Chain A
Amino acid sequence: MSLLRLAVAKVRALFRRNAVADEIRDEMQFHVEMRADEYERQGLAPDDARWAATTRFGNLAVMQDRGYDVRGGGIAETVAQDARYGVRVLGRQPAVTAAIILTLAVAIAANTALFSIFDGLLFRPLPYTTPDAIIRIDRPNNLPGAEFTELQDGLLATSMLTDRAQVSLGGLFEMGTQAVTDWGLAPAVVTPSFFDLLGVRPSYGRAFVADDRDRTNGGPRPLILGHELWRTRFGADPDIVNRVIEIPGTIFRNSWVVVGIMPPGFDFPSGSNLWAPVSQQQDYAPQFARLADGITIEMLQRQFPVATFTPLREYLRPRGAMAFAFLLGATGLLLVVAWVQIAALLFSRAIARGREIGVRLALGASHGRLIRQFGTEAVLVASAALVLSWLMARPLTAFVVRLLPAEITVGQMLEPDSRTLLFTCALSIVGVLLLTLLPAGFVRRTSTTDLLRGGGAGRARTSPLRVRSLLTMTQIAVTAALLYMAGLAVQSFSSVSAAPLGFEPARMVAVRLPVVTVTTRVLEPGAAPVVDREDLSRQMQLQLEVVEAVRSVPGVLHAASAERHPLQTGSPRTQTVTSKAAGSAIRVDAHITNVTAGFAATLGLPLMEGRDATPDDLGDRIGIVSNNSAPASVGSIMVVNSVVLVNQTLARALEPFGPVPGQVITVGNDDYRVLGVIGDFADGRPDQPPRPHVFVPAATAPFVIARLAPDVPGAEAGIRATFDRLWADRASRQIIRIEDEHVRTTADYRARSILLTLLGVLCLPLAIVGLIAAQMDAVRQQTRDIAIRLALGAEPADVRRRVVLRAVATVVGGLALGLAGGIGVGQLMSAYLYGVEALDAASVAIVASLLLGVSLFAALWPASRAARIAPALVLRDQ
């Protein structure tokens, strides 16, 4: 109880110092008055009595103070005192303090932003309700009709799944039109269960309800806006909920009513920023669902062997994300540079404050008390920086997320959260420790008399200066390492972007044809089912017509069909190829792609040898190429006449055994005669060398690829119209631009180079400011030495040169360390380099000359300061 009262008294003392002091004064006053009364009773005159009483009591003021020392605020009070003192000290040099806090805030914010991204990408549970139970469902899209229906019904009916959600992209919008592109629309059409499945609620308004599917006929359709779209297009106006709005590119020319706004960062399933309910009352098979309690993916897979089930985590977090982990390390380096900067500044301040510290020590302050003083100042600086950085972290995160490839960041809600805040606080605590211990260590090692006499390091003590230049060297080293890595990344990006693809991606588009379904019929009871050839050839005919129609669209130069489009994600089919001529001497794994006549011409691939395939090379045998193990599923339909084209890489392997055209090769179990050799091209990613490739002439294939003429604006619309006309019910509306695919396949290189450059560029000014400050300090502390040298006849130019040389020595040391580190890291991340070695002379030269140049320039300032020292003034003062 009394302890509680005491605590109350201490806290009260903190805020109402006077109240406690008054109590003490009253109590002592009472004592003196009582004693005076006593003396009066003994016969003294009132004045004498009072004087005697006071004398007997002792010095009232001193006693009150001593009383206050015990009864006053204690630790809490001294902390408050430290803080007040700290604020005064920091306020004495507002510019320096502001620079310190700002530097720190930027560094912490950058770390916070990157941490929240990497944490989100790699470690944090997905931001959805019980994310481990959410799965992605993929069906083979070439299932025969009956099996397709069976699977769909099965997935819809099974009790193993709950919260089934069906999602499609586009559909209600004319994608690719100017207005839609301007708005950056990324619409997703979803079932109302979509939001239940994820468990994410809109920040304003509501999610879709079952009724919303009925509101799709006539009148405005319900719509949910993404946070970013709402902010940029609707001025973040919360009153927009329930309002009717227009969205460009709306196919059915309907208006929309906003029912909700999603929280920031929500962009599921595909960088989406607008959600509309599925329009028909139809139920298709779900793409996403939640596993019912106690159900595992394995159980589901046994039940539906044809479909593929992927945990949402694996679906959203491709392994490529790991490649970004080392960037977190690089950002950590930025923070190291910032803290070192602050430490150096405060350290130099501690040196400059030597005299003040000496006075406090001489007056009896303990070292512990001084450490607490430094700690309090560090906490003041760090908390101001923390608040600022937390304000900066969110926009910075959004900025970096935009730089990253969308396929990596989608659906992760990459936003600073409580985990990030914790991380940021931990970083600040480390910094506070550094800022406290560094000056404290200096004070501990220096005697009080030295501090008092010379203002600390005034007598040109070399040790603090050496520490200072080591700190600066560290900064330069880290900056050099980051810039060097940025150099490697930028070169990799530019090499990979310029890497020859073997074709020109610009003005090349691809459209997926509707899936061909093979119908089988059982002719006699008990007999094996046979393919309905009539149905097949009808579909084939339709595909042929589409390709022909596309070819005749104005602005289309070439068109052909192929099993894959260039730079498509995922691996092509691979089979073992042997050559009759070579016997067992050749056995290579080659990619196999079905293509129609004109494929090479459409891609602009040169014909190296032999001749191209023509429609005449197709015989009349129908073959079915199976894409996967399921027996009746079909990838392409082709008419086989046992001739193929091969690419240059495969041709090089075949060349030793005679002219390549005319050789007979075995692909799988079938023999083919090689017709001709076409040029290599990048099939998957531009950073991978071409693989041996066999092109099998086919009548049709799943993608129509077209090369467009320059300056014919309507070509894409013409292709779309062709699809609508010929295949309106099942037509894909998505036109794949191969150029976009090219950008996508190099996006990770771009992200790495931008981020590393950003970090390097953030570090550079820190390092340079550090260098200037260190040299300034050195000059300030050696003022007397310099003055003596000048008095003894040294030229100002000599003085200047000495300062510049010292700066250069520091920079050269830092450069050597940093470049060695950068080369080491480059070796570790060689898998992410393209067209550049870990030891890259150009990057070394650029980084070295940049840092040397900038620091030479920076050193001129302290150098001219040193040269301007007036010996007479300085020496007289001493």
Chain B
Amino acid sequence: MGRTNSDQLHGTLDMLVLKTLQQGTLHGYAIAVRLQQLSNDVLQVEEGSLYPALYRMEARGWLASDWALTDTGRRARFYKLTRAGRAQLAAETASWNRLTAAVAGVMNS
């Protein structure tokens, strides 16, 4: 694939976003909050950079989005996984697991 380093960084963020959306439809802010909660505040991204990532994933067909009202009645854009997004998440999870297993193997030796 010849991916660059920055692509790999994007890839990690992409994977996390896809993971948060596995449960259902969320708007951007909710994704950021969920990322923070799930990582126990370890992962704090510059929140703005979430959006270019979302748009890119939407352009690749992994996400679909639409405007809707939140529980409090405010307009927000909601994102959800597409079929391709699920497949991508599965692939990324598998490769991540391989990588972390390998790294853990090295570190624990």
Contact = CB atoms under 8 A, between A and B. Distances in A.
Contact of A57 (B46, B55, B76, B82): B46
Given A24-B51, A30-B75, A63-B52, A2 B29 contact: no
A70 B59 CA distance: 8
A34 interface: yes
Contact of A31 (B47, B55, B59): B47
**Range for the number of chain A residues in contact with chain B:** 20 to 34
Contact of B29 (A1, A26, A34, A67): A34
B34 to A, nearest CB: 13
Contacts of B28: 27-28, 30-31
Interface string B22-53: 00000111001000000000000011110110
Contacts of B46: 56-58
B48 A58 contact: yes
A30 B51 contact: no
Contact of B76 (A6, A24, A27): A27
Contacts of B77: 23, 27, 30
B11 interface: no
Given A27-B77, A30-B27, A34-B29, A67 B61 contact: no
Nearest to B84: A2
Contact of A28 (B48, B56, B64): B48
Nearest to B32: A31
A66 B51 CA distance: 9
B58 interface: yes
Given A30-B27, A34-B29, A58 B49 contact: yes
A770 B61 CA distance: 52
Contacts, number: 63
Contact of B55 (A34, A35, A59, A67): A67
A69 interface: yes
Contact of A66 (B27, B52, B74, B75): B52
Nearest to A23: B77
Contact of B51 (A3, A6, A63): A63
A476 B56 CA distance: 54
A874 interface: no
Nearest to A62: B48
B56 A56 contact: no
**Range for the number of chain B residues in contact with chain A:** 20 to 34
A342 B75 CA distance: 55
Contacts of A58: 46-49
Given A31-B32, A57-B46, A2 B52 contact: no
Contacts of A3: 61
A42 B58 CA distance: 33
Contacts of A69: 52
Contacts of A35: 29, 47
Interface string A736-779: 00000000000000000000000000000000000000000000
Contacts of B56: 70
A531 interface: no
A63 B76 contact: no
B55 A71 contact: yes
A653 to B, nearest CB: 87
Contact of A2 (B47, B51, B82): B82
Given A3-B61, A63-B49, A70-B59, A30 B32 contact: no
Contacts of A2: 58, 61, 64, 82
Given A31-B32, A58-B47, A6 B52 contact: no
A75 B82 CA distance: 24
B75 to A, nearest CB: 7
Contact of A30 (B48, B55, B76): B76
B48 A70 contact: no
A6 B58 contact: yes
Given A3-B61, A28-B51, A62-B48, 18 more contacts: A6-B58, A24-B51, A30-B29, A30-B75, A31-B28, A34-B29, A35-B29, A35-B47, A56-B46, A57-B46, A57-B47, A58-B49, A66-B49, A67-B51, A69-B52, A70-B59, A71-B55, A71-B59
7 contacts: A31-B28, A31-B29, A35-B29, A35-B47, A62-B48, A66-B49, A66-B51
